[in-house]
């Protein structure tokens, strides 16, 4: 007899965690169809690995880890497009950017966060969006809790540097104020 959980246990896993996984993926991809694909793939992998199902209190972190790995290719592609868009905008605008009086909003913060390295952005997303503990983040990323703390501090410093540079130069505000569809 197999040690794999029953169909009923897998159904419970999907019913209990599918909304959390969907929100986790949607915040990262923002594309409905890609999100659906990633969530489906996440639970397909969970089904295939159901013999590795962790205790109930660690199931969600386990599913986050699976989803994290599934969306990594989409994230890299999205980030390459974003960097290219910013580079093209900077080349097109030249050095004569005029400062604008943008108001603070979430969209602007998200655009600034995109300037972070992927690893720094991922760690901050896990801390502030998912509200995960260092232990859960360590399990998802496959690193130690100490490394999580170090990466969080590095990411915060990088974000502060980007924000400070933006307030000094006004360049990001100008780009954000004029950036539209891709």
Q: Answer whether 151's CB lies under 8 Å from 123's CB.
A: yes
**Has residue 9 been placed in a domain?**
yes
For residues 62 and 133, give the distance between their C-alpha atoms in angstroms, rounded to a whole number.
13
* 88, part of any domain: no
Mean pLDDT score of the chain: 78
Q: Both 116 and 66 in a single domain? A: no
Mean pLDDT lowest among 58-67, 113-122, 130-139: 113-122
Instruction: Tell me the average pLDDT across 107-122.
Output: 78
What percentage of residues in the chain have a pLDDT greater than 70? 69
72 and 101 housed in the same domain: no
Residue tagged 């080349």 (tokens): 91
- Cβ neighbours, 10 Å, residue 117: 12
Decide if 84 is inside a domain: no
Give the model's pLDDT for residue 40: 94
Confidence label for 96 from pLDDT (cuts 50, 70 and 90): very low
Q: For residue range 16-31, what is the model confidence (pLDDT) as tens digits?
A: 999 999 999 988 877 7
Domain of residue 15: give its range.
Answer: 1-76
Which pLDDT band holds residue 107 (cuts at 50, 70, 90)? low
Is 50 exceeded by the pLDDT of residue 101? Answer: no
Q: What are the tens digits of pLDDT across the range 121-177?
A: 888 888 887 888 999 999 999 999 999 999 999 998 888 888 777 666 555 555 444
What are the DSSP calls for 101-166, one per residue? Answer: -PPP-HHHHHHHHTTS-HHHHHHHIIIIIS---HHHHHHHHTS-HHHHHHHHHHHHHHHHHHHHHH
Do 85 and 179 touch, CB atoms closer than 8 A? yes
CATH assignment at residue 118 = 1.10.10.10
Contact 21, 4 (CB under 8 A): no
What pTM was estimated for this model as a whole? 0.53
User: pLDDT value at position 22?
Assistant: 94
The count of structural domains within the chain is 2
The answer on 179 and 114 residing in a single domain is: yes
C-beta neighbour count of 177 within 10 angstroms: 15
Residues of the chain with pLDDT > 90, as a percent, come to 37
In whole angstroms, give the CA distance from residue 51 to residue 131.
27
* Within a domain: 90: no
Flag whether pLDDT at 86 surpasses 60.
yes
Same domain, residue pair 102 and 33: no
Q: Report the C-alpha gap between 54 and 65 in whole angstroms.
A: 12
How many whole angstroms separate alpha carbon 179 and alpha carbon 13?
41
The sign of the CA dihedral 62, 64, 67, 69 is: negative
pLDDT of 39 reads 95
Two tokens, residue 45: 């992998």
161 in a domain, yes or no? yes
Judged by DSSP in three states, 37 sits in helix
Same domain, 54 and 101: no
């Amino acid at each position: 007899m197999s040690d794999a959980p029953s169909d009923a246990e897998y159904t419970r896993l999907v019913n209990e965690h599918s909304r959390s996984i969907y929100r986790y993926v949607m915040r990262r991809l923002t594309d409905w169809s890609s999100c659906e694909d990633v969530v489906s793939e996440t639970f397909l992998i969970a089904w295939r690995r159901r013999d590795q199902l962790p205790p109930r209190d660690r199931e969600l972190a386990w599913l986050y880890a699976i989803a994290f790995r599934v969306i990594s290719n989409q994230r890299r592609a999205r980030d390459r497009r974003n960097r290219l868009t910013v580079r093209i905008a900077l080349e097109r605008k030249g050095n004569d950017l005029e400062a604008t009086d943008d108001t603070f909003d979430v969209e602007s913060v998200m655009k600034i966060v995109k300037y972070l390295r992927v690893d720094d952005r991922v760690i901050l997303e896990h801390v502030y969006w998912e509200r995960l503990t260092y232990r859960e983040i360590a399990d998802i990323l496959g690193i130690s809790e100490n490394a999580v703390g170090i990466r969080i501090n590095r990411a915060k410093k990088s974000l502060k540097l980007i924000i400070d540079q933006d307030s000094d130069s006004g360049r990001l505000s100008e780009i954000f104020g004029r950036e539209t569809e891709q």
